[in-house]
Amino acid sequence: MKIAVDVMGGDFAPKAVVEGILLALPSLSNNETILAVGPKDTIQAILDEYQYVGTQIKIVHADQVIEMGEHPTRALSQKPNSSIGIGFGLLKEAKADVFASAGNTGAMMVGSLFSVKTIEGIQRPAIAGFVPQTNGKYAVMLDIGANADCKPEMLEQFALLGSVYFEATTGQSSPRVGLINIGEEEQKGSILAQATHALLKANPKINFIGNIEGKDFFKGKADVIVTDGFTGNIMLKMGESIYNIMKDQGMSNEFIENTNYEKYGGSPIIGINGNVIIAHGASSPVAIKNMIGLCKSVVESKVCEKIKGIIENK
Position 127 pLDDT exceeds 70:
yes
| Cα 169 to Cα 149: distance, rounded to the nearest angstrom | 28
Query: Is residue 305 exposed (0-12), middle (13-18) or buried (19+ Cβ within 10 Å)?
Result: exposed
**In CATH, which of 3.40.718.10, 3.40.50.150, 3.20.20.140, 1.10.3720.10 is domain 1-122+271-301?**
3.40.718.10
Position 314 pLDDT exceeds 70:
no
Taking CA atoms, 286 is separated from 17, 35, 62, 232, 314, in Å, by 9, 18, 24, 25, 40
Instruction: Give the global pTM.
Output: 0.94
Top CATH class of 126-262 equals alpha beta
User: 89 with 80: CB under 8 angstroms?
Assistant: no
> Is the torsion defined by CA of 141, 147, 150, 155 positive or negative?
negative
**C-alpha torsion 3→300→258→20, nearest 10:** -20
- Give the pLDDT confidence of 64-80 residue by residue, as tens digits: 999 998 999 999 999 99
What DSSP character marks residue 119?
P
User: 182 with 213: CB under 8 angstroms?
Assistant: yes
Domain positions in the chain: 1-122+271-301, 126-262
| Topology alike, domains 1-122+271-301 and 126-262 | yes
User: 113 with 125: CB under 8 angstroms?
Assistant: yes
Position 312 pLDDT exceeds 80:
no
Mean per-residue pLDDT of the chain: 95
